[in-house]
Structure 1
Amino acid sequence: MNDASALGGATGISLEHAGFPHLTLFEWEAHHLLATVSGDGVIKTLITAGTEVQQRLAAQEFMSRELADLRQRATTPTLTKNKTDIVRLDISTYSGEGKSRLHLNRSFCEVDIAVEARQLSTELARTRYLLPKLAAKAKECAIGKLVAGASCFPTMASMKADLRLAFEPPQDESLLRSAFLSLKQGRISMLEYIQQARHLVSCVTTYPVDMATQVHDFVSGMTLATNVFI
């Protein structure tokens, strides 16, 4: 499907992915799908007036909702699997190098969405799907271990854990947790403040931030003008 024609059809304007280099292909496709869900006005405002941060966070939230919906549907037993229900998604590759690379948790989020959409039920299929989505040093590391021992990754979770040890910066989740706890609204809009808070919380997966702490720190970080209405 042509991204520009579909997104342009929903917004009434002609857009190309090349005009939004800060969005990955997967994030661009998320905006493309979001346009059909949210309507013309919302998506047009986001892609023409929203900041790069707002555009990326909107795509991430949409992907998270889609993943939650897919998981909920997967828990409902069905007698047969209809091949027409299988969705094939193109996702970004993770190289493990470069300052502009995707955050590892975000990369895994894309993989999880695609795995659920493709209805890959066996661990072998899941690990073999993740492998081609790696590039550069990350792919070299994984293939090197597979050559040494074909059974080194019995599950996709074990492959993810190995990649985290190799490429996730030390104390990465601790830094993200600290960033959330110190987040202040300042002069940014409430929408952007909410999106930044959600993004930081979603990246802390090993020891998630409990809801009471989320609420307390979110309210504490709001500007005084907003806080008086709480």
Structure 2
Amino acid sequence: MEYERGAENLPVDTNMPTGSPNAAATHVAREDCPHLADPEWEALQRLSTVIGEAAVATMLRTLSPTEQHGVALGFIMKEQREVAARATVSTPSPPRVASLKLHINSYVGREGEPLLRWLVEADTAITARRIVDPLSKVAFAMSCLGGRTRGWAYERRITDPTCFSTYDVFEEDPRHAFEPPQKEFRSRAEFLDLQQGKHDVHAYAQRARYLVSNIVTNPIDEATKVVTFMKGLQNGPVKAYLFREYPGTFEAAITLAMQEEFSLRQAKPHANVPRPIPRPVVKPTGGPEPMDLSSATTAGPQQRRGSTVTMPVSAQHLCTQPRADVTILGITTGKQKTKATSRRGAPCW
């Protein structure tokens, strides 16, 4: 055996490991564990940062390969559980939105009943109930039908179970079944000749909106809608105000017309209120109040020097006792006779 000389001229064995005496006990090379897969070896390296390298090295030297696989797999599953727990805490679940159950009127298909308005109500109720499935939408809409429309829908389902495959198809089929032919042409002609007449601005605007909504294939441009709406208004302040402002869109014209009509209605009650007439102020005097004889009437022809004063009918109910005879300056009230003298001076009645 060959030896090398060290710093102090002592023999040194080159085959002995150098370094710390505990280095071999605390470190295990990858080549020493060929039975472990790469993920398992990496898991054991992460485990060494938790329990120490010496504990992992001792475990690898003392445990069998099967037990080493179990330790590595257990540590991997523990890490996965911790990651899942942190993700649950850090990511709060979104708030649950409760569905709103709206009630809509049934569509029975009467003449003049607006189908488009009912479809809008059905769409709103479906959105509020958070119905997403197309077949569920169709089922809900069919449950809101009534009269002959309900019978028509379910009879079609009997003959063809796949007739309403989507909700769009269900919306289109009732138009052909219950609306008059050439509905768009009729709506266009009625809108272009629409007049307010005896209706208020609100009813006139709602009718104009309904007619415009029926024109889908070839819609009317905004300028034509604005001019037609303004032309159909009654001659008055509302129409003059719109021609002065000249709104750019159909909805803006409706808004301005309704606001102007509301302002006029609010101004009319204040303009028709009569002004109070001031009453003359009577200054009180210290003496006796003069008697008002304007309502006195003559009871009969004047036969004597006095005249009879009759109490008004409106004041007779105030007297609870027979009235007394009162003589006022030659005026006789009641049935009192006037004292007179004869030619020879003797008194007579």
CA distance in 2, matches of 1:181, 1:81: 50
User: What secondary structure sits across from 1:224 in the alignment?
Assistant: coil
Corresponding position of 1:158: 169
Q: Which residues of 2 match residues 167-182 of structure 1 at below 5 A?
A: 167-182=178-193
TM value normalised by structure 1: 0.57
User: What secondary structure sits across from 1:135 in the alignment?
Assistant: coil
TM value normalised by structure 2: 0.39
Are the structure 2 counterparts of residues 220 and 162 from structure 1 closer, same or farther at C-alpha, using a change threshold of 3 Å?
Answer: same
Q: Which residues of 2 match residues 204-219 of structure 1 at below 5 A?
A: 204-219=215-230
Higher fraction of helix: 1
Q: Which residues of 2 match residues 44-193 of structure 1 at below 5 A?
A: 82-84=96-98, 86-96=99-109, 98-99=110-111, 102-193=113-204
**Which residue identity does 2:96 align to in structure 1?**
N
1:106 and 1:203 in contact (8 A); partners too: no
CA distance in 1, matches of 2:218, 2:96: 37
**Which residue identity does 2:108 align to in structure 1?**
S
May I ask how many residue pairs the two structures share in their alignment? 149
CA distance in 2, matches of 1:135, 1:188: 31
Q: Which runs of 5+ in 1 are unaligned?
A: 1-78
**What is the alpha-carbon root mean square deviation over aligned residues?**
2.3
Considering Cα pairs closer than 8 Å and 6+ residues apart, tell me whether 1 or 2 has the greater RCO: 1
CA distance in 2, matches of 1:151, 1:166: 18
State which of 198, 207, 223 in structure 1 corresponds to 2:234: 223
1:144 shift after superposition:
1.8
1:208 shift after superposition:
3.5
1:95 and 1:134 in contact (8 A); partners too: yes
1:129 shift after superposition:
0.8
1:164 shift after superposition:
1.3
Which has the higher Rg, Structure 1 or Structure 2? 2
State which of 184, 199, 202 in structure 1 corresponds to 2:210: 199
**Which residue identity does 1:88 align to in structure 2?**
K
Q: Give aligned-pair identity as a percent.
A: 32
Are the structure 2 counterparts of residues 118 and 143 from structure 1 closer, same or farther at C-alpha, using a change threshold of 3 Å?
Answer: same
1:207 shift after superposition:
4.0
